[in-house]
Each structure stands twice: as C-alpha cells, then as structure tokens.
Structure 1
C-alpha cells in the first residue's frame, strides 16, 4: 500500500518505540516524515535508515512552543506541506503517591503530555486546514480506565477530551482528529524489566503485550484516507485488557522522557 504517497507527516517522540514505529510505517507507505524528539543521535539514525530524501530530524521539546513552531516550519520548508500530525510525546514523570503530588509535579506532567500535544496541534493546524489533513494522538488505556498513575492518567484522559473537541470544531473544515489508546507496549522503556512485561502479558486476553508495530498499524489507518469518515474517536489497541475484570495495575515505571510510557 502507498496510502501516504505525496503526503507529509510530523511524528513527535519518534526516536524509538511507538514513534519510530509510526514513522517507519508511514515512510513504508510512501510518505515523507519529520521526526522529532530530544534524542538527536537516535533521530539521526532513524533518518539514515529511512533515507534523507524522505525524512527530516528536528530536535524538539514539545513543552517549548517556539521549538514546536520551528519544527512545523521546517517540515513545510523542506517538503512543502503538512498532512498528518502524530502526537506521540508524553510520559509518566510523576512518581509520588497521589496524595503527595505537588502542584509543580502536576504541572510538569500536564505540560509534557497534554499541553505539549495541544501546542503541536496549534502549530500544525494552519497547514492541516490547507491540506485537509488530520491528527492522531497516541493516548493510553490509562486515559480510559483506572490502571494507576493518577496524574499521567488524567493527562491522557485530557488528550481524549481535547481530541473530541478539536474534531467537533474543525470537522466542517475537513480536518480529522482521532486517538489511539495503547495498552502495554514492548518499547525500550521496559528493557530493564523484562520480567514485568511477562507478568503483564499474562493479564491480556490475547496473551501478550503489544509491539510498536501494532500501534503503528492502527495509527496509519486513522491517518490515511481509509479512515476519511472517522473523526473524534478513540481506538483502543490493547489486546483485550479493557474487557476486565481482573485487570492488573499496569503502572508504567520505566525511565521518564518524551515518549509514550505505555
């Protein structure tokens, strides 16, 4: 399939894991990709893999609006347009007990996971209106059910509400907004605790945790014209964990950073 031939996507937190998987999938289907993250060396390696004629790396902290604006401008300058924004930046950065979380910790979590995503939409929107493009935000099952990590879960739930409101506001302009909500995904964040992943796998009806390719496939569908009449939805890609009861506490405990912590 070449569903993204002639199209340009910007993927945040694309140095590894889900973001890198999404960038690879869009490039494999003919698209050009702008990949952003804080890890410049990994971004450069991904661009080398995809080919510098089809990919561009830009170091971006999504909590800094000027850097987000610069990344969008670089995408349009390099490729002439922007058709897809994949909001993947986020992470569980609060480790306190909920009753002990400080206002500063709350702000840091919301700045990264929710406000960062909103800033990316704001920066990309003028170009998406022109191309009648779309946004796919990578949220989490944490935003749909009680899996622990209160502050992270609240930020992820906020992404879902934000997406619905953007979808309602800009649907008449032809711009679509959707969410993919992953369950536990095997990313480098879990490299130091493989036993935890195996324990989590036993809780999933499908008997395994997810892979970045699982999320990339769902994201590519929603970002493509195959989903042209779909907007404002949240697509759980979670191996059945939301079927409950008997759900484990799938508290992310890997390293923090601008990546999906699922």
Structure 2
C-alpha cells in the first residue's frame, strides 16, 4: 500500500527512534520525506538508510528551538518536494526531575517546554499555509505526545509540555479544519529507543506494568502516525490517540497485588 504517493513530508527529531521509524514507514508508502534533526549527521545517516531501501528522503539540520531554523526547513521541504502535505512534530526535550520539586531550575523547565511544546508550535505555524494549500484537503499535522500528558509518570516539565501539546492539538484542529488541514496527537507509552540505552533493566521492569505485556517499539508509533496522516483518517481531527499497550487503562502488577489476578 502506497498511501503517500506524491506527498511531501517533514518530520522533526527524525534522526533516530520514533522519528526515524516514522520516516521509514512513510517513505515506504511513497512519501518524499525530509528528515530533520538537531544532529545533522544523524539526520543524513537516517535519510541515507531510507534511500538505500528504495525510499525518497532528504536530510536537513533543524533546531525547533529557533524560528529561523524551522522556517528554513519548511521552505526547503516546499522547494524540494513542490508540496508539503504532512508535518510530524516529534522533537522533544526531557530532563530528569530534581529530587525535590522546589529544587527544579527555571532553565530545565524552560528547555523542556521550549523544545517539546513551543517547538511544535513553531513548526505548525510555519507549515500551516503550505499544508492548507495541499491538494484534496490532505494536509495533516501529527504530533507525538505522551501518556505523561494524561497521567502521572514523572518528569514535571516534560509532562506539562506534552499535556500542553494535547491542548494545542485541539485548538489548532478547530482553527485548521476549515482550511482543510487535520491536526491529531499520538500519546505513546514507554517505547524502546536509544534514549533507554544502558537502562534495559528499566524497560524490563516497565513491561510488567503494561496490560499487553511489553513496552512499545518505534514501529508501533510509526504505524499510528501513518494512519492519522493518511486519507484513511480523513474524518478524524483534534484527537489524542493513546498507543500505549494499555497502560492508561490499568497496571497488571497492581491488579496482581490487589486481587491476585
């Protein structure tokens, strides 16, 4: 199935993990993908891997914390592909919490919000006029949120940013709908990415809390992005879609302790 034949797609934070898997998935379905990342070498490596697999991909440095960098990336996508049909907001920042909340720094708080939430705002602002010009009302924004924006899983600033991203998704969806652009959010649970390198025991411990018995893979999230970005989701906008192995509905370890199940 090649649902994205002729589409131009821009993905932030796509040098590895969920972003790279999403770039591979959409390119595999015919999209021309701009792989952007604050690490330009990493972006080029990901794009090269897609090209080696027969897909169409370009790479570009992009810092979503900088308006000029974002606008340059959007302009490059439009110039290179002749169209911009899908924006995937995947870039984020997440710093460990201080032991006590009162010891949190303004700098850490601001960094997580600026990259995770305001960065998505910058990208959507730059991309929206082009998405609205996409043919057949196929323009779409899909942002990567988190279950942290829905319940308490720690990380104060990151969680606040992801919750804010869910709110932005709803308000932007209402604004963009008359312009033919859909805006949706995916809320992943724990996903096995490079961010967990050296902490494999933590992933194993986390898996016990998931009703489906495992943590997620980047491909699980990429599949959901492909759905929401495609015409298969033509009547869906303003939603948050959990892709979380069931973590938001219950925790098996707690049920076993309480009920012996």
* TM-score above 0.5: yes
Structure 1 residue ranges (4+ consecutive) displaced by more than 3 angstroms after TM superposition: 245-248
Name the residue aligned to 1:113.
Answer: 116
Paired residue for 2:150, among 138, 144, 148?
144
The answer to whether the Cα contact below 8 Å between 2:208 and 2:253 also exists between their aligned partners in 1 is no
- The reply on whether 1:193 has 2:195 as its aligned counterpart is no
Paired residue for 2:127, among 108, 124, 127?
124
Question: Structure 2: how far apart are the matches of 1:63 and 1:247?
Answer: 39
Name the residue aligned to 1:256.
Answer: none
Which SS does the other structure have where 1:241 is aligned?
A: coil
The answer to whether the Cα contact below 8 Å between 1:94 and 1:151 also exists between their aligned partners in 2 is no
Name the residue aligned to 2:10.
Answer: 10
Change (3 A) 1:247 1:218: farther
The CA RMSD over aligned residues, in Å, is 1.5
Question: Structure 1: how far apart are the matches of 2:253 and 2:5?
Answer: 41
Name the residue aligned to 2:75.
Answer: 73
Shift of 1:46: 1.6
What aligned pairs does 1:102-251 form with structure 2 within 5 A after superposition?
A: 102-131=105-134, 132=137, 133-244=139-250
What TM-score, normalized to structure 2?
0.92
Q: Looking at CA atoms only, which structure, 1 or 2, has the larger radius of gyration?
A: 2
What aligned pairs does 1:48-67 form with structure 2 within 5 A after superposition?
A: 48-51=48-51, 54-67=56-69
Which SS does the other structure have where 1:179 is aligned?
A: strand
Question: Structure 1: how far apart are the matches of 2:36 and 2:203?
Answer: 27
Question: Structure 1: how far apart are the matches of 2:155 and 2:33?
Answer: 32
Q: Which has the higher contact order (CA 8 A, sep 6+)?
A: 1
What TM-score, normalized to structure 1?
0.91
Question: Structure 1: how far apart are the matches of 2:250 and 2:101?
Answer: 24
Alignment length (residue pairs): 248
Change (3 A) 1:77 1:103: same
Paired residue for 1:93, among 70, 95, 99?
95
Identify unmatched segments of 5+ residues in structure 1.
249-262
